[in-house]
């Protein structure tokens, strides 16, 4: 498939015309590309063909006359003569549809798919018009849940197997399968093993009938009443292309749109998280949105007007001078991020600005590593991953990686606990927290490390044969090697991962990197300077001073404090501590790995100003709360994990008095007696393109021309691809979206733009980090992110909130044996910082000497983020002792 570098063109005759097909392309796809649409149900362009529905039969000339063949299952050959419009084909289509409808209820008026149903549409276009079937139809109990989010009306199913193939082939979790035979066939999960996939919503979207429906959309709307905005999902930093549909200013559903990033797939958090914005259609409670500015008066937050809140904020900021810390902004738009950077660095004059909450990687690493794109996974020789569970953190990137693995690309994984990637890995190296860099050294040929790792009281954590296999799989010099690097463990210092990534970049000079930072627009926030030491455009303070001197009132002269440094300075009362904290859509009390530090730091701030779309633990303690627009209410752009800028379109109006991120910055600048000099989102975008070297040449026209796929910055670094119009049967429900014509355009690099990332920036990353030796009595802690956690999106979505697990600690069975307790027993974990009581689960896949916890899950007596209470941000790794209570 991927190996045919030179496309071979095949010529065949389609309905009397000469048509070209690519080698390996199926007839149905070649015909569609040439403008002849052949009806279909089971065929989906992003899945392997099966030829089960027989709707796509065409007439093919052969030595013994013409025969009917499924066009989704035959590849054209040179000289083939095909008819799609003959009497014979028409009769076949009539027959297939009559058979399908024999067992299909005609309940379209009450069916959610009615109005956008491929079966309805194709029956009208290709069907016989009348049925001879007068017998009793099938009846089933309806609906039956096949997952927590998906319901099945069995009598509507036409057995196309799209959903079961999606589960097995795309998601890699065949938790649903056909059971039974004949007209009693039904899609079913195993009774004791529910369909728990993070991707279950896709089965609803690709169902060509109304058999599968999503709980959040069932009976919520009729498709012809829906308005659509084509936008980009901001649930995580993959940036999937979406069609956001709404009715009467309420979001009703989100659909995936085919594009080169996401291939049309979405994770369930991206698909159903919209409930956190305007609420579920049938829920009694409203999502916990902040709808008015609030000010703390007599110890209580009370609603106030914008002008009162802004004056209070301006007064606090004026008193503080430049002793201001800014934390967050990774959920903002690019324009909002730039506005806040201009306010913080260009007017207030502080460089203590950080979009990351100690859960990411240094900006100098992100900018310094040679960048890979998601499309590079399609042609990579090998992929190396050192990151958290991709199906939990960047779910659709996991699907793309799975595609690569399926094509035979070897995946080498270094992990602290087996996860979704382990199941597709060519070789997986299990390492204890703190040992990642040592294993990377071994991978790069430094065997001195082996002895050190073998000396661990519990022995080597991985199979030496796997290391040899991994070494063999990695291409020499890193040619065609894509490295996905992220924070696997929030209980260890991120510098460890950064040092390992730097080492890989040194050992494999031709390798390219995807830095798997998770927050929606964290990449855009870093690019635009929401990080200490940088100004917009990935330029250092020193380099940027002259660039911004003319337009900005000032620029900081010294590198400021990171999130942890700000909070630590506040907590200890150190010199240089900020007195006012501005939190941009961030919730450190829940989201900072070191929970105690967040609490101590925030308590010491003179004034805390929180710009937030939702009520959180942090807004409850704030002095001033400013309501901001969130996903699907915003105009602007966002940047994904690979540096791809794509468009955000508003689908609904913001509730109450919420303002957009950049508007608040502009108004606050006004209140401070200054002026950002920009008054529209387009003006912000234009100034970014004019000043930030990374964004040079980026324009609204360019983005509009690239349709939904966006543009990878710097402009010109990656070609812009076209796409075919969306197949209405593959993406039912998505109203027509503009498509760029097929063909690849290589935009030229605009003058003045940097050629590529600045490798010199890597000098700021340490060569190695000293890790304390293992304590024979302690377990080393690995804390990992989960898709469903205590964050605002999940907790405010009635459909997703029940999917959040309670916190548990997973340990190797031997650790429980030593303690003499059974799996499930509540134990006490004691770290240097605190202790936590939670159930211990025996799991033989946990590395001996390690304890695995989920981030931002609650325990019985610790609401919110239980794991954060154990983590000390100043420690390189976290050791805990497990005790009986």
Partner 1 sequence: MSHFSPALRAKAEATVALYPKKRSALIPLCHLAQGQDGYLTEAAMVEIGELCEVTAAEVRGTATFYDMLHTDPVGKYVVGICTNIACMLAGGDDLLEHAEQRLGCAVGGTTTDGLFTLEETECLADCDIAPCVQVNHRFVRTTTPEALDALLDELAAGGRVDEIPSHGTLIRVERTVGLQVPKDVIAEERAAAGAAQAARMEGSK
Residues making contact with partner 1 (CB under 8 A): 168, 173-181, 188-193
Distances (CA, A) of 495 to 358, 565, 668, 771: 10, 14, 35, 11
The residue (of 155 and 633) whose beta carbon lies closer to partner 1 is 155
Q: How far is the CB of 170 from partner 1 (least distance, A)?
A: 15
Q: How far is the CB of 413 from partner 1 (least distance, A)?
A: 19
Residue whose tokens read 């004019």:
690
> Taking the C-alpha atoms of 877, 878, 882 and 885 in order, what is their torsion angle to the nearest 10 degrees?
180
3-state SS track over 700-763: HHHHHHCHHHCEECCCCCCCEECCCCCCCCCCCCCCCCCCCCCCEECCCCCCCCCCCCCHHHHH
d(CA 215, CA 203): 13
The residue (of 406 and 721) whose beta carbon lies closer to partner 1 is 406
The residue (of 146 and 669) whose beta carbon lies closer to partner 1 is 146
The residue (of 52 and 851) whose beta carbon lies closer to partner 1 is 52
Q: Where are the beta strands (DSSP E) in 16-153?
A: 17-22, 57-62, 65-70, 81-83, 144-145, 150-152
DSSP for 394-420?
SHHHHHHHHHHHHTT--EEEEESS--T
Q: Cβ(294)–Cβ(625) under 8 Å?
A: yes
> Taking the C-alpha atoms of 88, 90, 91 and 94 in order, what is their torsion angle to the nearest 10 degrees?
160
Q: How far is the CB of 182 from partner 1 (least distance, A)?
A: 9
What is the radius of gyration, based on Cα positions, of the chain?
28
Q: Cβ(679)–Cβ(257) under 8 Å?
A: no
Q: How far is the CB of 54 from partner 1 (least distance, A)?
A: 20
The residue (of 198 and 269) whose beta carbon lies closer to partner 1 is 198
Q: How far is the CB of 778 from partner 1 (least distance, A)?
A: 31
Phi-psi region of 152 (alpha: psi -120 to 50; beta: other; left: phi over 0): beta
The residue (of 186 and 458) whose beta carbon lies closer to partner 1 is 186
Distances (CA, A) of 199 to 48, 243, 292, 687, 731: 18, 17, 35, 39, 16
Q: How far is the CB of 750 from partner 1 (least distance, A)?
A: 51
d(CA 548, CA 554): 8
Q: Cβ(231)–Cβ(737) under 8 Å?
A: no
The residue (of 138 and 604) whose beta carbon lies closer to partner 1 is 138
The residue (of 73 and 178) whose beta carbon lies closer to partner 1 is 178
Phi-psi region of 697 (alpha: psi -120 to 50; beta: other; left: phi over 0): left
The residue (of 175 and 612) whose beta carbon lies closer to partner 1 is 175
The structure tokens listed for 102 are 């024999």
d(CA 878, CA 415): 17
End-to-end CA distance of the chain: 57
Q: How far is the CB of 173 from partner 1 (least distance, A)?
A: 7
Q: How far is the CB of 172 from partner 1 (least distance, A)?
A: 10
Q: Cβ(772)–Cβ(824) under 8 Å?
A: no
Cβ count near 199 (within 10 Å): 23
The residue (of 192 and 770) whose beta carbon lies closer to partner 1 is 192
- What is the CB-side half-sphere exposure of residue 550 using CA atoms within 13 A? 5
Q: How far is the CB of 184 from partner 1 (least distance, A)?
A: 9
Q: How far is the CB of 171 from partner 1 (least distance, A)?
A: 12
Q: Cβ(488)–Cβ(421) under 8 Å?
A: no
The residue (of 45 and 189) whose beta carbon lies closer to partner 1 is 189
Q: How far is the CB of 193 from partner 1 (least distance, A)?
A: 5
Q: How far is the CB of 808 from partner 1 (least distance, A)?
A: 21
The residue (of 165 and 695) whose beta carbon lies closer to partner 1 is 165
Q: How far is the CB of 185 from partner 1 (least distance, A)?
A: 9
Task: Tell me the angle at which helices 661-671 and 306-320 cross, rounded to the nearest 10 degrees.
Answer: 60
Query: Using CA of residue 732, residue 738, residue 742, residue 745, what is the dihedral sign?
Result: negative
The residue (of 204 and 664) whose beta carbon lies closer to partner 1 is 204
Q: Cβ(22)–Cβ(9) under 8 Å?
A: yes
Q: How far is the CB of 141 from partner 1 (least distance, A)?
A: 17
Q: Omega before 741 cis (within 30°)?
A: no
The residue (of 57 and 187) whose beta carbon lies closer to partner 1 is 187
Q: Are strands 250-256 and 607-612 parallel, antiparallel or unpaired?
A: unpaired
Q: How far is the CB of 419 from partner 1 (least distance, A)?
A: 18
Phi-psi region of 248 (alpha: psi -120 to 50; beta: other; left: phi over 0): left
Q: How far is the CB of 541 from partner 1 (least distance, A)?
A: 54
The residue (of 402 and 538) whose beta carbon lies closer to partner 1 is 402
d(CA 805, CA 84): 52
d(CA 165, CA 160): 9
Q: How far is the CB of 192 from partner 1 (least distance, A)?
A: 6
Q: How far is the CB of 717 from partner 1 (least distance, A)?
A: 42
Report the SS3 class of residue 660: coil
The residue (of 168 and 821) whose beta carbon lies closer to partner 1 is 168
Exposure of 9 by Cβ count < 10 A (0-12 exposed, 13-18 middle, 19+ buried)? Answer: exposed
Residues 106, 165, 516, CA angle at the centre, nearest 5°? 120
Which DSSP state fits 110?
G
The residue (of 146 and 689) whose beta carbon lies closer to partner 1 is 146
The residue (of 179 and 551) whose beta carbon lies closer to partner 1 is 179
């Amino acid at each position: 498939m991927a190996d045919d570098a030179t496309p071979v063109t095949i010529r065949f005759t389609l309905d009397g015309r000469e048509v070209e097909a690519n080698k390996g392309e199926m007839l149905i796809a070649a015909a569609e590309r040439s403008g002849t649409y052949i009806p279909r149900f089971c065929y989906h362009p992003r899945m392997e063909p099966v030829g089960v529905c027989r709707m796509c039969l065409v007439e093919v000339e052969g030595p013994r006359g013409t025969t009917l063949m499924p066009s989704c299952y035959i590849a054209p050959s040179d000289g083939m003569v095909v008819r799609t419009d003959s009497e014979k084909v028409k009769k076949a289509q009539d027959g297939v549809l009559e058979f399908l409808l024999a067992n299909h209820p005609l309940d379209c008026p009450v069916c959610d798919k009615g109005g956008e149903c491929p079966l309805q549409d194709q029956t009208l276009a290709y069907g016989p018009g009348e049925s001879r079937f007068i017998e009793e139809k099938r009846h089933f109990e309806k609906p039956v849940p096949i997952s927590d989010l998906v319901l099945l009306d069995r009598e509507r199913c036409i057995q196309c197997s799209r959903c079961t193939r999606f589960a097995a082939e795309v998601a890699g979790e065949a938790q649903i399968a056909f059971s039974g035979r004949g007209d009693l066939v039904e899609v079913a999960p195993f009774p004791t093993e529910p369909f728990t996939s993070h991707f279950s919503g896709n089965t609803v979207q690709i169902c060509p009938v109304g058999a599968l429906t999503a709980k959040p959309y069932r009976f919520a709307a009729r498709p012809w009443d829906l308005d659509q905005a084509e936008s980009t999902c901001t649930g995580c930093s993959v940036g999937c292309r979406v069609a956001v549909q709404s009715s009467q200013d309420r979001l009703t559903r989100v659909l995936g749109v085919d594009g080169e990033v996401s291939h049309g797939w979405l994770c369930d958090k991206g698909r159903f998280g919209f409930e956190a914005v305007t609420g579920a259609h049938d829920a009694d409670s409203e999502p916990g949105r902040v709808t008015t500015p609030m000010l703390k008066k007599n110890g209580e937050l009370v609603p106030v007007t914008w002008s009162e809140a802004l004056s209070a904020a301006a007064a606090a900021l004026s008193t503080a001078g430049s002793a201001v810390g800014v934390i967050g902004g990774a959920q903002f738009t690019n324009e909002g991020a730039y506005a806040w950077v201009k306010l913080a660095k260009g007017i207030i004059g502080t460089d203590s600005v950080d979009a990351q909450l100690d859960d990411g990687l240094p900006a100098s690493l992100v900018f310094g590593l040679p960048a890979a794109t998601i499309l590079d996974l399609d042609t990579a020789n090998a992929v190396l991953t050192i990151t958290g569970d991709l199906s939990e953190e960047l779910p659709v990137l996991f699907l793309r990686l799975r595609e690569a693995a399926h094509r035979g690309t070897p995946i080498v994984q270094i992990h602290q606990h087996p996860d979704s990637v382990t199941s597709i890995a060519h070789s997986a190296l299990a390492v204890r927290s703190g040992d990642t860099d040592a294993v990377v050294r071994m991978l790069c040929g430094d065997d001195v490390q082996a002895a050190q790792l073998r000396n661990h009281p519990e022995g080597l954590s991985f199979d030496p044969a796997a290391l040899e296999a991994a070494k063999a799989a990695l291409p020499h010099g890193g040619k065609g090697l894509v490295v996905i690097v992220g924070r696997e463990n929030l209980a260890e210092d991120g510098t460890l991962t950064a040092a390992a990534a730097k080492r890989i970049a040194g050992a494999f000079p031709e390798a390219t990197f995807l830095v798997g930072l998770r927050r929606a627009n964290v990449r855009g926030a870093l690019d635009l300077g929401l990080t200490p030491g940088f100004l917009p455009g990935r330029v250092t303070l020193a380099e940027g001073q002259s660039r911004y001197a003319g337009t900005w009132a000032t620029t900081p002269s010294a590198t400021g404090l990171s999130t942890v440094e700000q909070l630590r300075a506040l907590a200890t009362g150190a010199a240089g501590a900020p007195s006012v904290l501005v939190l941009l859509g961030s919730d450190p009390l829940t989201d900072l790995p070191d929970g105690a530090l967040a609490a101590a730091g925030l308590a010491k701030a003179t004034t805390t100003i929180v710009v937030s779309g939702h009520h959180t633990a942090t807004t409850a303690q704030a002095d001033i709360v400013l309501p901001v627009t969130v996903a699907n209410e915003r105009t602007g752009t966002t940047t994904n994990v690979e540096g791809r800028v794509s468009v955000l379109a508003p689908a609904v109006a913001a509730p109450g008095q919420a303002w957009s991120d950049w508007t608040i910055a502009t108004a606050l600048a006004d209140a401070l007696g200054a002026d950002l000099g920009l008054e529209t989102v387009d003006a912000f975008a234009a100034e970014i393109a004019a000043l930030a070297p990374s964004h040079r040449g980026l324009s609204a026209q360019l983005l509009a021309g690239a349709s939904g796929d966006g543009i990878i910055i710097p402009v010109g670094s990656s070609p812009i691809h076209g796409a075919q119009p969306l197949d209405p049967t593959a993406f039912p429900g998505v109203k027509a979206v503009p498509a760029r014509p097929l063909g690849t355009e290589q935009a030229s690099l605009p003058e003045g733009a940097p050629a590529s990332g600045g490798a010199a920036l890597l000098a700021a990353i340490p060569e190695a980090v000293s890790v304390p030796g293992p304590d024979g009595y302690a377990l080393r802690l690995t804390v990992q992110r989960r898709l469903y956690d205590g964050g605002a999106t999940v907790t405010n979505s009635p459909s997703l909130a029940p999917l959040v697990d309670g916190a548990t600690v997973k340990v190797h069975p031997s650790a429980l044996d030593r303690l003499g307790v059974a799996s499930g027993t509540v134990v006490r974990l004691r770290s240097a910082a605190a202790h936590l009581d939670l159930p211990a689960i025996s799991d033989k896949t946990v590395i001996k000497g390690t304890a695995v916890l989920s981030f931002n899950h609650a325990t019985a007596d610790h609401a919110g983020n239980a794991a954060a209470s154990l983590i000390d941000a100043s420690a390189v790794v976290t050791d805990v002792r497990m005790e009986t209570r």
